[in-house]
Amino acid sequence: MARGNRWTRDQLLIVLNLYHKLRFGQFDSRQPVVIDLASRMGRTPGSVAMKLNNLASLDPTLQLRGIRGLPGASALDRTTWQEFHDNPAELVPLSQQRFDSLFTEAENESTEVIPGTGIRRLTRPPCDETEIARTVKQRRGQDYFREIVLNNYGNRCAVTGLPIRELLIASHILPWSGYEAERLNVRNGIALNRLHDAAFDQGLIAFDDELCLMLSSHLKSRLAHESVKSSFETFEGKPLGLSTDGIPPTTAFLAKHRLRFEFR
């Protein structure tokens, strides 16, 4: 593709995919992720960074924070932004497929966006021949959700600060089943290490309206064990670790989680 060509809908879907995997302060032509994507798209890093900032001008979440983005969003930018956010169940997996196709060659390969590092290719175990298209679409949606949540929390566990991405889970506050409209919503996710993800999923921990960690009565009854004490009591009452430009979880979702597990 020649440099300077007009942006197409497919290209905007790819950039929108990246948009939600970065924080506003990372929309920079020196960002390794932006450089990697630009090279695959046949554009300059400055062109991709500018488009990210154009899209930022359409983001109501940023507008609430007084951030305007960069003026100059095109009619196609606006249409594609609206389409992407009106129909995430269809457009997110499609954007993930378009994004992955720039970096991968096989169906069992995917990508991972790591701000400050770049875009790396991942290889999955081969898909079973009976896997259907709906399952592939679901997997792409889950891949996208994992990346937007982990990157939103700076690739650290929101409870302990553990910075090892391979040990982190993008935990759903409202479960995948039963809340289709919130499945891909970054505000329905918290980056947790595998232990605290399991505890959250089982209702052993929760978070209050101030985003502070709560322990269940059952967990508190086991604090005599040093491993339980160090893993949980140490962090009780402390707020989620979220960067200043990160997007916090929705408190109403946290309240539903507490209600589900009868937290007082």
Mean pLDDT for the stretch of residues 74-95: 97
Mean pLDDT for the stretch of residues 245-258: 96
**What dihedral angle (degrees, nearest 10) is formed by the CA atoms of 30, 34, 40, 42?**
-70
Work out the pLDDT band at 247, boundaries 50, 70, 90: very high
Does pLDDT of 1 surpass 50? no
| pLDDT 10s digits, 143-181 | 999 999 999 999 999 999 999 999 999 999 999 988 999
Mean pLDDT for the stretch of residues 210-237: 95
Question: Quick one: 237 exposed, middle or buried, by C-beta within 10 A (0-12, 13-18, 19+)?
Answer: exposed
User: CA torsion sign, 48 to 111 to 197 to 166?
Assistant: negative
Give the β-pairing of 189-193 and 168-172. Answer: antiparallel
Q: What is the DSSP code (8-state) at residue 212?
A: B
Q: Are 144 and 130 a contacting pair, CB within 8 Å?
A: no
Q: What pLDDT was estimated at residue 123? A: 87
Q: What is the DSSP code (8-state) at residue 249?
A: P
Does pLDDT of 208 surpass 90? yes
Encoded tokens for 29:
């032509």
Q: Are 216 and 261 a contacting pair, CB within 8 Å?
A: yes
In percent, the amount of the chain with pLDDT more than 70 equals: 94
Does pLDDT of 63 surpass 60? yes
Q: What pLDDT was estimated at residue 3? A: 46
- Give the amino acid at 229: K
Mean pLDDT for the stretch of residues 243-261: 94
In percent, the amount of the chain with pLDDT more than 90 equals: 86
Q: What is the mean pLDDT of the chain?
A: 93
| pLDDT 10s digits, 5-32 | 899 999 999 999 999 999 999 999 999 9
d(CA 124, CA 261): 34
Mean pLDDT for the stretch of residues 33-54: 98
Does pLDDT of 4 surpass 60? no
Q: What pLDDT was estimated at residue 129? A: 55
Does pLDDT of 37 surpass 50? yes
What residue has token string 């996710």?
A: 189
| pLDDT 10s digits, 123-146 | 876 655 555 555 888 999 999 999
Q: Are 246 and 187 a contacting pair, CB within 8 Å?
A: no
Work out the pLDDT band at 2, boundaries 50, 70, 90: very low
Q: Which residues contact 15 (CB under 8 A, 6 or more apart)?
A: 7, 37, 48, 51, 52, 55
Question: Quick one: 35 exposed, middle or buried, by C-beta within 10 A (0-12, 13-18, 19+)?
Answer: middle
Q: What pLDDT was estimated at residue 108? A: 82
Question: Nearest-5° angle of CA 241, CA 170, CA 175?
Answer: 115
